[in-house]
Each structure stands twice: as C-alpha cells, then as structure tokens.
C-alpha cells in the first residue's frame, strides 16, 4: 500500500513543481500529461484498496487513461521537440481512435477485452487477476506504434542541427524506462503495478527537460522591448560552451552561426569570430555585464554579454548584437572634433602661457634694470636653478613629481619681484645699506610674495602659483631660523625656497657687486658647504655638489 501512496504523493509534488516553475516551457500536451498522472496514480491506489471486483475494475479503467492518452501526448511532444510536423488530420485521427477504443473498454459489456476478472489479495493490497480477450491485442498494437514512432523521431533528430541533443537523450530515457519496467514485471512476475512508478519517473525526466528547455527559450517580453528599440540579434551558449540558439538577425550579422548545431561546442570552430567569442566567454565575470565591439566588412557590431541565470545559478552566456556602425562613426567624428578642439585649446593655452612668461620675464628685467648692483642676477639664477634641479631629478629616491621641478624653474625669475616696490634711493645705492635701509630692503621678499600672488591670480595652476609665491617670500630664510622675513626654521621653509636660497647666495658670491669683488669658485663652494645645516638645508648639499661642475662651467661661459 505504501508503494502506491508514495507514487501518488510524488506525482502531486512533481505536478506542483511543473505548474509553479516550468509550465511556460511546455506545450498543452505536456500540461495534460502532468495533469493526468496524479489521476492515474489515484486509480492505482483505489485498485489496491478495492473491496470488490467492480470497484477494482473501475479503478483499473481510470489507470487506462495512461495507456490510451499519456502515451499519445508523449509521442506528440517528442515529434514537436524533434521538429517533425504531424498533419492536423493525423493528430485528430490518432486522438479519435484512442478515445473510441478507451470508451469501448470502459463501457462495453462484451468479453472481447476482459474475459474474466477476479479480485485477489496480497496482505492489505488487493489486485485484479484478468483474463484478456482478443481486443486487448489492439491495445498493445497502439502502444507499440506510439513507442516505435517516438523512437524513430528521436533517432532521426540526431542528424539535425537545430534539435537540442540533451533533450533527445532525456526523451530516449523516458521511452526506455516503461519498456524496461514492463519487461521486468513480466519476467519476474511482480505483483505490484510497475507503471505506477514508471509514470512518476517520466515526470521527473520531464522536469529535467524543463530545466534544460529554459536555456533555449528567450523571454518574449524582453524580445518585444528589444524589437521596439531596434534590430537586435542574440545567440547563447551553456556553461560548457555548447550552442543553445540564435535568432535570424544574429545570423544575418554572422552567417557562420547558422552552421553551428544546437549543443555543439564552439571549441570545434576555429574562424576569427568563434575564436573571439570563445575568448569573451573565457574572460566572463558573472557579476558584470560586458560590452565588446567586433568589426567586419566596414561594419561595427556592438555585442553585450550577459549570463543566463535560473534561480540563483548561472546556466550559460547570452550575447545581444546590434549594428552600431552609424553610432561609432558619429563617435569617431565627435572624437576627431574634440581632438582638433583640444589641439586648438592647447595652442591657445600655450600662447597665453607664453604671454604670461614674457610678462613675468619683462617684470624681472624691469626690476633688474632698476637694481644696478646685481647685474643680471635674475637671469643667472634662473639658469643655475635648471642645473640644480637636474641634479635632483637624477635621484629617484626623492619621489618628487616632475611638475614640481618644472614649476621651480619657471618661477625662479620671480624670486626678486618685490624689489620693484623698493625706493630707487635704496635699491640703486652703490654703497652698503644703513640699518634702516637694510630693514627696508628686506621688505622686498614679503612685498614680492604679494606681487606674485596678484600677477598670477588668473592662472589655474595653483601649484605653480604657490611655488612662485614661496620662492619670492622665503628665499632669504635660514635653515637655523635666523633668516627673514618670518624666521622659519628647517622644514618649515618650503623646499623651493630652500633651493632658491643656495642658488641666490652662490650667484651673489661669484658675482661682482658695487660693495665687493667676485670670489673664486672654490672659495664660494667652501662657503656654501660650511653653511649647510645653518644657513642652508644640509640634505641639498649632495645635489649642489653634483651640479657644481656644470654650474661653474655656466659662469665661465657667461663671463
């Protein structure tokens, strides 16, 4: 009894799964199949619990629904899956013959089908012992014809590229199982009705087919929205790179897809397109949607790759294709325009920058023309800064960005701009300054910072503006904190100002002034080196030493 109860329970469970999850993947034949199986299983259970031969015979007649209709519907489904068309009148004729024969078995009072029926018992299970008449042979004929037709259709489909081979294998199993169980029942004279479990097994196989069928189906609502937006092709593969399907638009774009049979692995195709698709699949990130562009015959195809997901599991790969040629041409046109525009902007920017540089140099020349005592100091220090910075560039340990060096070189001519605000009587005095005069002269650094800030106020490069301002403001600060204007100490002094301090002092020592003669290079070098740690940043000494030869060479050539 438990055997029949379990079979009935499983049939209801499988039918429920079908209705809730997979119904949309099957046609009406399979839907009827899942609907009738629980009814048939109920008939087997009723027969097993019957207390009279009439009740048992009624239950048996219910189970015959399976023989007359389920086999028919399964055969029709096999033909449809194998893409073999059965004319409508043939389908109607098959249905009419089965229905007529079933009604004859159920309602006929003759002994043509059952000669005798006897109710017997095996423990708590009842069953009918039947002696069949000649008409029962027609029942076997119908079953054999349907099963044979199903086998022939499945075998023929193996030669077709558009029939999923995985489904064919499942359907072959569903045809073989009933035969094996029938033979086992007869060979071992089993008392239990084996068809009770065979139909449940077939249900399970159909659920596996449904799981696979979902990979070959495309959501119709998605297709409708895609069609509204434009002409789109699509093709797909399972996780083992076996081909699942393609639409006509994709074949129009890539004709070779028509030659790739369903369930064929793409690895066996070696042209450029298939090799590219294989690479895309190999690099798939399940979490991300990817876009690729494929060019062929002056066309540019935009291919969007996604994964096929059922539930929470990834089942395959889906590719959507559109002809993106016009869009790419437009983008190329825009890019070319942008490139041309950027070039013009760069030219304009360079021109403006050149004008700013000339303005700065012009102001520096104006300052130097007023300060008769320095004699080319600004130009010389600007050249020496380049040599000093080049020595620093060679030290990769510094991790200083290139922009810093460029800005330091560019800002060097502005370090003494503050002298333009100093009275001529002091600036052009050919003798040493008095205490008051020196105090006023020292104001040039602070005033210079303000002038630089004002002159460069319209420049977007804030780093350059800050470096230029720092060089003007702090190039007279000392490393020991005894400099001016703010008495900054050590690393409180910006690096650019510490560099300028060395170069500014060096030029002052090797150059002739109204109040002194120029000193020999060796003596100047000793003075600078002795000032490392007090007046100058000692960490810069190695770069001063590295640039010493080139700096001395510059001054010799400048004389």
Helices (H), 244-302: 248-253, 272-282
Helix, strand, coil shares of the chain as percentages rounded to 5?
Answer: 65, 10, 25
The token pair that represents 477 in the structure block: 């600060």
The confidence score (pLDDT) of residue 515 equals 65
d(CA 43, CA 58): 8
Q: Is 57 strand, coil or helix?
A: helix
The confidence score (pLDDT) of residue 364 equals 67
For the stretch 310-332, what's the b/e string if a residue is b when 16 or more beta carbons lie within 10 angstroms of its beta carbon?
Answer: eeeeebbbbbbbbbbeeebeeee
Spell out the long-range contacts of 547-554 with Cβ–Cβ below 8 A and sequence spacing 24 or more. 547/387, 547/388, 547/390, 547/391, 550/387, 550/390, 551/384, 551/387, 551/388, 551/506, 552/521, 554/383, 554/384, 554/387
Task: List, for residues 44-92, the tens digit of each pLDDT value.
Answer: 889 888 888 888 888 888 888 877 888 888 889 889 888 888 898 999 9
Cα distances from 133 to residues 54, 111, 113, 115, in angstroms, run 18, 6, 4, 6
For 223, residues 6+ apart whose C-beta sits below 8 A from its C-beta are none
The confidence score (pLDDT) of residue 446 equals 93
Spell out the long-range contacts of 517-526 with Cβ–Cβ below 8 A and sequence spacing 24 or more. 521/552, 521/555
Is the distance from CB of 44 to CB of 63 less than 8 angstroms? yes
**For a pLDDT cut of 90, what percent of the chain falls above it?**
23
Task: List, for residues 112-166, the tens digit of each pLDDT value.
Answer: 888 888 888 877 788 778 888 888 888 888 888 988 998 899 988 888 888 888 8
The confidence score (pLDDT) of residue 473 equals 95
**pTM score of the predicted model:** 0.47
The confidence score (pLDDT) of residue 217 equals 57
* Ordered domains of the chain (ranges, CATH): 2-216 (1.20.1070), 228-323 (3.30.450.20), 350-558 (1.10.3210.10)
Task: List, for residues 509-545, the tens digit of each pLDDT value.
Answer: 988 776 677 889 999 999 999 999 999 999 999 999 9
Helix axes 443-455, 325-370, angle to 10 degrees: 150
Cα distances from 536 to residues 305, 400, 403, 467, 478, in angstroms, run 63, 20, 24, 18, 6
More confident residue, 81 or 188: 81
Task: List, for residues 361-410, the tens digit of each pLDDT value.
Answer: 666 666 666 555 555 788 888 889 999 999 999 998 888 999 999 999 98
Lowest mean pLDDT among 107-116, 185-194, 487-496: 185-194
Task: List, for residues 315-362, the tens digit of each pLDDT value.
Answer: 888 899 988 888 888 777 887 777 777 787 777 766 666 666 666 666
Is the distance from CB of 80 to CB of 98 less than 8 angstroms? no
């Amino acid at each position: 009894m438990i055997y029949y109860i379990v079979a009935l329970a499983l049939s209801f469970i499988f039918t429920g799964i079908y209705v809730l999850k997979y119904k949309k993947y099957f046609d009406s034949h399979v839907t009827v199949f899942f609907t009738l199986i629980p009814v048939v299983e109920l008939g087997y259970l009723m027969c097993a619990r019957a207390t009279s031969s009439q009740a048992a015979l009624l239950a048996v007649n219910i189970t015959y629904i399976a023989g007359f209709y389920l086999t028919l519907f399964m055969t029709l489904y096999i033909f449809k899956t194998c893409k073999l068309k059965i004319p409508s009148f043939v389908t109607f004729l098959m249905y009419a013959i089965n229905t007529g024969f079933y009604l004859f078995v159920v309602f006929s009072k003759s002994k043509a089908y059952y000669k005798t029926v006897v109710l017997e018992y095996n423990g708590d299970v009842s069953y009918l012992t039947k002696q069949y008449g000649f008409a029962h042979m027609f029942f076997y004929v119908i079953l054999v014809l349907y099963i044979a037709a199903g086998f022939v259709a499945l075998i023929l489909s193996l030669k077709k590229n558009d029939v999923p081979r995985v489904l064919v294998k499942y359907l072959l199993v569903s045809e073989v199982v009933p035969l094996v169980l029938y033979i086992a029942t007869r060979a071992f004279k089993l008392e239990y009705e084996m068809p009770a479990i065979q139909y449940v097994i077939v249900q399970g196989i159909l659920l596996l087919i449904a799981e696979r069928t979902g990979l070959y189906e495309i959501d119709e609502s998605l297709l409708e929205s895609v069609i509204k937006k434009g002409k789109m092709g699509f093709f797909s593969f399972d996780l083992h790179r076996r081909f699942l399907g393609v639409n006509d638009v994709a074949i129009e774009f890539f004709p070779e897809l028509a030659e790739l049979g369903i369930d064929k692995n793409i690895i066996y195709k070696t042209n450029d397109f298939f090799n590219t698709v294989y690479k895309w699949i190999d690099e798939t990130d399940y979490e991300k949607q990817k876009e690729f562009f494929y060019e062929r015959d002056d066309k540019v195809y935009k291919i969007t790759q996604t994964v096929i997901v059922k539930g929470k599991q990834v089942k395959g790969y889906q590719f959507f294709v559109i002809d993106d040629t016009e869009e790419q041409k437009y983008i190329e046109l825009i890019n070319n325009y942008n490139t041309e525009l950027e070039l013009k902007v760069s030219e304009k920017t360079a021109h403006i920058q050149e004008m700013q540089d000339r303005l700065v140099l012009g102001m520096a020349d104006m300052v130097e023309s007023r300060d008769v005592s320095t004699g080319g100091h600004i130009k010389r220090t600007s050249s020496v800064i380049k040599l000093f910075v080049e020595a620093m560039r060679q030290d990769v340990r510094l991790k200083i960005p290139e922009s810093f060096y460029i800005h330091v070189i560019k800002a060097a001519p502005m370090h003494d701009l503050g002298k333009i605000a100093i009275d001529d009587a002091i600036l052009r005095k050919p003798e040493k300054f008095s205490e008051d005069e020196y105090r006023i002269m020292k104001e040039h650094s602070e005033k210079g910072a303000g002038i630089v800030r004002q002159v460069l106020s319209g420049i977007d490069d804030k780093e350059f503006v800050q470096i230029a301002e720092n060089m003007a403001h702090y190039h007279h600060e000392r490393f020991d904190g005894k400099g001016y204007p703010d008495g900054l100490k050590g690393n409180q002094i910006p690096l650019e100002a510490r560099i300028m301090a060395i170069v500014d002092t060096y030029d002052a020592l090797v150059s002739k002034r109204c109040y002194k003669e120029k000193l020999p290079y060796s003596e100047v070098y000793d003075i600078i080196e002795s000032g490392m740690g007090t007046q100058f940043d000692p960490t810069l000494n190695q770069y001063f030493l590295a640039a010493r030869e080139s700096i001395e060479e510059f001054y010799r050539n400048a004389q």
